[in-house]
Amino acid sequence: METFIIANWKSHMLLSQAQEWVESMNATLTSTSKKVIICPPFTLLPFLSVQKNMLLGAQDISPFGMGAYTGAVNGAQIKEFALYVLIGHSERREYFKEDDTILSQKVTLALEQGLTPIYCVQGKDTIIPSGIDIVAYEPIWAIGSGKAESCEQANEVALSIKAKNSIKTVLYGGSVSSKNVASFTAMEAIDGVLVGSASLNAVEFSAIIQNA
Ligand code: PGA
């Protein structure tokens, strides 16, 4: 089974910073056999899409198609640059008030465009729309807190998500670092990690890829 390592840059990074990041990450991205997917802000997708060895995801997708929806970036537009899209992150649920109805609309549109959604869930009972193959389990309290969940507990939740939804790939996210990443990827039911703040630093993110 492949090990997924997803970088979620959130609302961080300017073009100049992304250029430096790419330069420092080049050797690692060229040599790794792991599946590394970078999810930058929309503004950086065109720049990153022309770099070598770069698998990309968007951090969001419009719940509508092409049309008069000011500010929205739709699936066809994402597909020009990326293959994946994060949907259902707890920050989208909290700050942008996205609910299960909107999230399932986003999943439908992503799938229609041939994008692969990486669906974020906050617990074993979070509703998962149909058509999802990759789930990222991220307990809210572990995000950005420096306190990751125990790998045993995360494994339990991953097992339960797999059993309930017949999902093959479950990732763990929440304060993943180069120090703790191996404990998660060693778990039977955990197929990789979703990394927020630690993915912004190229040295740390390289170490995460190597240690995973
Ligand atoms: P964190 O964020 O690694 O900074 O905790 C993870 C996420 O929100 O995807």
Q: How many Cβ atoms from other residues are within 10 Å of residue 147's Cβ?
A: 11
**Domain range for 174:** 4-211
Average pLDDT over the chain, rounded to an integer: 97
How large is the average pLDDT for residues 69-97? 98
Q: State the closest ligand 1 atom to the C-alpha of 90, by its place in the atom list counted from 1.
A: 8
Atom of ligand 1 nearest to the CA of 198: 3
Given the residues 89, 91, 98, 149, select the one marked as catalytic: 89
- The number of distinct structural domains making up the chain is 1
Q: What is the mean pLDDT of residues 24-28?
A: 96
Interval 111-115 mean pLDDT: 98
Residues 88 and 103 sit within 8 Å (Cβ to Cβ): yes
Q: Could you report the per-residue pLDDT of 132-154, keeping only the tens digit for each?
A: 999 999 999 999 999 999 999 99
Q: What is the CATH number of the domain that holds 87?
A: 3.20.20.70
**Closest residue (by CA) to atom 7 of ligand 1?**
196
pTM over 0.95: yes
pLDDT at 166: 83
> What confidence score (pLDDT) does residue 8 get?
98
Spatial CA neighbour of 53 closest among 39, 35, 41, 40: 35
The answer on pLDDT for 1 being more than 90 is: no
